[in-house]
C-alpha cells in the first residue's frame, strides 16, 4: 500500500490557529515567542468580546449570538493560556528538583 499523497509536507510541530484568533503558525519558533503570540491573541479576543458586549448592552448589536460566541472564545482562550502557563511552571519546578 502506498502512503496518503499530500501528507508528507505536513509538519508535526506546526500549529495553525483558526482565522481571526490573532495567533500565527508557531512552527519553528521559540516557546516564549509562541506564548507571547498566544497572549496577544487572548488580548485581541478579550477586546472583541468587550466591544461586542458593550454593543449588545447599548442595543446596537443586531445579532446577540456574536457577543455570546466572542465571550465564550475569550473564556476558552484564557483557560488555554493559563493551562499552558501552569504546565510550564510545573515543568520548570520539576527540572529544578532534579539532582545534578
In a domain, 3, yes or no: no
Q: Is the dihedral of CA 53, 57, 61, 63 positive or negative?
A: positive
Residue 25 has pLDDT above 70, yes or no: no
Task: Give residue 12's pLDDT band: very low, low, confident or very high (50, 70, 90).
Answer: very low
Q: If you search the block for the grid coordinates 484564557, which residue do you land on? A: 78
In a domain, 39, yes or no: yes
Q: How many domains does the chain have?
A: 1
User: Residue 33: its pLDDT value, please?
Assistant: 86
User: Residue 78: its pLDDT value, please?
Assistant: 93
Q: Model pTM greater than 0.75?
A: no
- Tell me which long-range contacts 5-10 makes (C-beta under 8 A, separation of at least 24): none
**What are 62's three cell numbers?**
443586531
In a domain, 45, yes or no: yes
In a domain, 64, yes or no: yes
In a domain, 58, yes or no: yes
* Domain enclosing residue 76, as ranges: 31-97
In a domain, 23, yes or no: no
User: Residue 100: its pLDDT value, please?
Assistant: 63
In a domain, 61, yes or no: yes
In a domain, 4, yes or no: no
User: Residue 7: its pLDDT value, please?
Assistant: 43
Amino acid at each position: 500500500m502506498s502512503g496518503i499523497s499530500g501528507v508528507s509536507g505536513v509538519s508535526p510541530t506546526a500549529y495553525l490557529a483558526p482565522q481571526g484568533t490573532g495567533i500565527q503558525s508557531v512552527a519553528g519558533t521559540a516557546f516564549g515567542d509562541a506564548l507571547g503570540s498566544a497572549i496577544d491573541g487572548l488580548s485581541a479576543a478579550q477586546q472583541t468580546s468587550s466591544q461586542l458586549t458593550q454593543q449588545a448592552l447599548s442595543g446596537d448589536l443586531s445579532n446577540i449570538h456574536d457577543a455570546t460566541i466572542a465571550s465564550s472564545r475569550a473564556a476558552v482562550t484564557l483557560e488555554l493560556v493559563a493551562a499552558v502557563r501552569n504546565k510550564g511552571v510545573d515543568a520548570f519546578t520539576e527540572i529544578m528538583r532534579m539532582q545534578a
